Amino acid sequence: MTFPHHLTAPACAAAGTGRRTWLLALAAAVLCAAVPSLARAEGFPDKPLRLVVPFPAGGAADMMARGMAQRLGTELGQQVVVDNRGGAGGVTAAEQVARAPADGYTLFFATMGTQAINPALYAKLRYDPVKDFAPVALTHTTPRVLVVGAAVPARTVKELIALAKSKPGVLTYGSAGNGSSSHLSGALFDELAGVKMVHVPYKGSAPLLTDVLAGRVDMTFDSYTVYEEQIRSGRARALAVTSRTRLSSLPDIPTLAESGLAGYDVSNWLGVVAPAGTPRVVIDKLNAALVRAMAAPELRKQLTQLGIEPTSSSPEEFAQLVRSEIPKWRSIVQQSGATVD
């Protein structure tokens, strides 16, 4: 990058002399301060990056994040370290990233929960999902699967609803945490099916899986990624998927809408964001690398086999998705009566 001769490095030292007006001196000082920052941004990345994941290790989001981080690191030529920060519906992790330096080295694996659902659940959310983050790219979309433990006698959604109606307030469904998309998936099921089940929040999918298999909780609305092995082995049963259409990896499992709950449609989405104020040149480099990473054939094959759709977007497209999803989920939260209390 070149500058007029009177704003080159020597001018930085001489800007305060009487030969220049105070306005020119101020402009030179601002330019001199900006040049190093611009150079750092153009040289990005020159050290490892940190990807903060708002769930504990072992869950669906963690699995997706690690596969993506490995490929993203290859594309960037720097290691991308996954940092699991579970709890509080992703609030803690989101707050941490929102306050991190806006240099592109701290990224957030944002979810539908953290960016679109939490604003409706928390009266005093300490981060703004629109103003506090710079969207980089949408990376994954995934429907949830209604999974019941082997001890639950119901083998269809119709049988499950009948069982729940015969035992109001007895059947339990676990979620990855209060206010998570799995929590709201269950609350929406309650509303549309006209039943009353007990919500049991966990700190992520991994501990919930253990309790579903042990029979300590009856069911969950979670990612197929987490339960694939257990479903195939018969230790748990998939009764339905939450999306509008069936999963290619589970072609024989109906949707909840097909099973009698008209209008039921929940598909989770995830993507990468950076702290607001991150230089556009950095956002563009990250976006280009993520687009290449999510297009990698081996990663796409791995994800689609698990019922996850790898995707990508521009920063603007991801920003628009977040803005459109916030009012949608506010309406669903209000209709379902779900709370984080």
CATH architecture of 143-241: 3-Layer(aba) Sandwich (3.40)
Q: State how far the Cα of 27 lies from the Cα of 29, in Å rounded to an integer.
A: 5
User: pLDDT digits over 52-92, tens only?
Assistant: 999 888 878 899 999 999 999 999 999 999 999 987 888 99
Q: State how far the Cα of 26 lies from the Cα of 58, in Å rounded to an integer.
A: 53
| 38-65: average pLDDT | 87
**CATH 3.40.190.150 domain locations along the chain:** 49-142+268-336
| 253-273: average pLDDT | 94
Q: Which of 8-22, 159-173, 281-295 has the lowest mean pLDDT?
A: 8-22
> 49-142+268-336 maps to which CATH number?
3.40.190.150
| 39-45: average pLDDT | 77
CA-nearest of 272, 270, 271, 275 to 128 is 275
* 59 touches 206 (CB < 8 A): yes
Give the DSSP letter of residue 88.
G
User: pLDDT digits over 137-161, tens only?
Assistant: 999 998 899 999 999 999 999 999 9
Q: State how far the Cα of 257 lies from the Cα of 241, in Å rounded to an integer.
A: 9
Residue 33 has pLDDT above 60, yes or no: no
Residue 35 has pLDDT above 60, yes or no: no
Task: Identify the pLDDT of residue 141.
Answer: 92
Task: Identify the pLDDT of residue 10.
Answer: 44
N-term to C-term CA, the chain: 55
Task: Identify the pLDDT of residue 20.
Answer: 54
**CATH 3.40.190.10 domain locations along the chain:** 143-241
Instruction: Determine which helix (DSSP H) or strand (DSSP E) holds 231, and give its type and residue range.
Output: helix 224-233
What pLDDT band is residue 39 in, cutting at 50, 70 and 90?
low
* 287 touches 271 (CB < 8 A): no
Tokens representing 96?
A: 């941490």
Q: State how far the Cα of 273 lies from the Cα of 276, in Å rounded to an integer.
A: 9
Task: Identify the pLDDT of residue 7.
Answer: 41
User: pLDDT digits over 189-247, tens only?
Assistant: 999 999 999 999 988 788 999 999 999 999 999 988 889 999 999 999 999 999 989 98
Tokens representing 116?
A: 């679109």
